[in-house]
Amino acid sequence: MPGRAAAASPLIVITVADPARADDPDLATRKNELYAAGIARHGGKPALLHTGTPPAERDRLLAAMDGLLLGGGADIDPALYGETVSGAVEVDPTRDELERSAWLEAERRSLPVFGICRGFQAINVFAGGKLLQDVPDHAGTPYGQGPAHTHDLEIEPGSRLGRAVAGASPDGLAAEDADDAALQLQVNSFHHQAICLEALAPGLRPSAWAYSEAGRLVEGLESREGRWIAGLQCHPERTESTPEELDGIWSDFVVAALAAASVARTRRAAPAR
Picking from 253, 238, 245, 255, the residue whose alpha carbon sits closest to that of residue 170 is 245
| Average pLDDT along the chain | 90
pLDDT tens-place string over residues 130-153: 999 998 777 777 787 888 889 999
Sign of the alpha-carbon dihedral angle for 125, 58, 228, 234: negative
pLDDT at 129 over 50: yes
Within 8 A by CB and 6+ apart from 273, the residues are: none
Q: Choose from 5-9, 42-46, 145-149 the range with maximum mean pLDDT.
A: 42-46
pLDDT digits (tens, 9 = 90+) for 191-221: 889 999 999 999 999 999 999 887 899 999 9
Contact 181, 151 (CB under 8 A): no
pLDDT at 172: 55
pLDDT digits (tens, 9 = 90+) for 102-125: 999 999 999 999 999 999 999 999
* Residue 160 pLDDT class (50, 70, 90 cuts): very high
Model confidence at 4: pLDDT above 50: no
CA neighbor of 132 nearest in space, from 191, 207, 92, 208: 191
pLDDT, tens digit, 9 for 90 and up, residues 51-63: 999 999 999 999 9
Q: Decide if 187 contacts 239 (C-beta within 8 A).
A: no
* Phi/psi of residue 213, nearest 5 degrees: -65, -25
Contacts of 257 (CB under 8 A, 6+ apart): 10, 11, 12, 44, 66, 67, 111, 112
8 Å CB contact between 207 and 166: no
Whether residue 7 is predicted with pLDDT greater than 60 in this model: the reply is no
Single out the residue of 38, 24, 9 nearest to residue 119, CA to CA.
38
Tell me: the pLDDT tens digits for 67-105?
999 999 999 999 999 999 988 888 999 999 999 999 999
Taking the mean position of all CA atoms in its chain, how far away is CA 183?
20
Task: Enumerate domains of the chain plus CATH numbers.
Answer: 6-269 (3.40.50.880)
pTM of the model: 0.91
